[in-house]
A and B are shown apart, each in its own frame.
Chain A
Amino acid sequence: MGRFEDHSVSIIIPVKDEWVLTRECVARILQHTKCKQIQIILINNGSQEKPPPFLLKHPLITWIHNQWNRGFASATNQGLRAATGDYLVCLNNDTRPGPRWLAQLIQALQESPQCGMVGPVSNRVIPEQKIQVPSLDSKVDIDLFTKEYNQTDSSKWRKSNRLSGFCLVFPRSIYEEIGEMDERYGLGTYEDDDYSYRVRKAGFDCVVAGDTYLHHYGSQSFQRRPYQEFKKLLKQNRAYFIRKWGISPPGEREGE
């Protein structure tokens, strides 16, 4: 427990190219994360393009360079191993953090000992975390909306069967108890369902912090390949989840 300002956080961001988005994400983290110690871990997951000097030279960034794309779970695990913070954040690089984003998410974790993992609401995310947002045509619009939206309100916190991997926040103790992400999900998809399920199976809650908005530009990394290929990934990883746990991924709806 304690104030957010007294804690250290490690924010883990796997990146494959997309350095413009990543730079924006990191700049927003630095601007809006006011805690005792912040560690940003960038996992360069086989990018063809060179990272910009601003990121390469930043003292708060821990770098992990992979020669090839090791997939989302594997890269995240590398980050988790390097993390030193009291709280660990797995974050997509195509997000735009705003005021109080992390303070509020961590508050949700602190105020309930049962809460094991928390995630925000967003514009592009699974239905459990999705909210209707007005037309946000510019970064100014996004920032204004985020600033107005992010007012601490515990009545908006709600349990969920699953949380999206675009932003997952959990205390170090949960990582130590649950372990790493399952790398059998390969390139990605369903590793977040798997982790959510493991957190709940261990007796903790997954909580959507309905008072915290995090803008998500949305799946950039899979857009290079035809949608049919992405559908195959989903099908294969869903089948693996079912084989592993003997149940359908909790929370999924018809047609997902």
Chain B
Amino acid sequence: MISSGKRRFWIATHEDWIRPSLKSEVFSFMGDFFKNSNCKLVCFTNKVLQHQHIQYIPLAQSERLWKEAHAILTFAPQETSMKEIHSKSLLQGIPVITDDEGDHSYYVNHLYTGYVVDLKKWRQNLLSAVEMMVKEPSAWLTMRANAKRMGKIHWGKWDGEV
């Protein structure tokens, strides 16, 4: 469980952004972690999923709502390119929590525009990432500002890299 005091903090994810093999575990873990706090994980999905303390929102509302998230969480399959999602997120100034497989960490600078999770230690790393962003508002604001700046500077230049 995490205490965020009065500060509300929510992380957005999407049914396609978490690899199937991890989805259930990640949701259970995050649900327990966010129990009785002002933090929550919001998953955009049309599927009927049941995990306590996770909020499910229909995909139709995702385009409007994700831009208000404090961070996004993506643990997509290795072969899934996340360049578009991550680039868009950075451009909006939304820090990204992601893994280090495939192209997932290409656009996210660890501790600078987000947090790169070592999948072998994803529970421990995810805790560190969320605790840092929730308990150190200055760290989150720094990531947010750098994300926006890097997004603007590099928008459109990253396509050729992967």
Contact = CB atoms under 8 A, between A and B. Distances in A.
Interface of A: 46, 48, 67-71, 183-187, 225, 229, 232-233, 235-236, 243
Interface in B108-162: 109-113, 116, 118, 128, 138, 141-142, 145-146, 149-150, 153-154, 161
B109 A236 contact: yes
A186 B116 CA distance: 13
Given A183-B153, A184-B154, A233 B142 contact: no
Nearest to A222: B111
Given A187-B112, A232-B111, 6 more contacts: A67-B145, A70-B146, A71-B146, A186-B110, A232-B110, A236-B116
Contact of B150 (A48, A183, A229, A233): A183
Nearest first, the 4 closest Cβ-Cβ pairs linking A and B are A186-B109, A186-B112, A68-B142, A187-B112
A78 B43 CA distance: 40
A232 B161 CA distance: 21
Contacts of B145: 67-68, 70
Nearest to B144: A68
B16 interface: no
A236 B114 CA distance: 13
B114 to A, nearest CB: 10
Contacts of B128: 229
Contact of A232 (B113, B116, B146, B149): B116
Interface in B64-113: 100, 105-106, 109-113
Contact of A187 (B100, B109, B138): B109
29 contacts: A67-B145, A68-B138, A68-B145, A69-B142, A70-B145, A71-B109, A71-B112, A71-B146, A183-B150, A183-B153, A184-B109, A184-B150, A184-B154, A185-B109, A186-B109, A186-B110, A186-B111, A186-B112, A186-B113, A187-B109, A187-B110, A225-B111, A229-B110, A229-B111, A229-B128, A233-B110, A233-B111, A236-B100, A236-B116
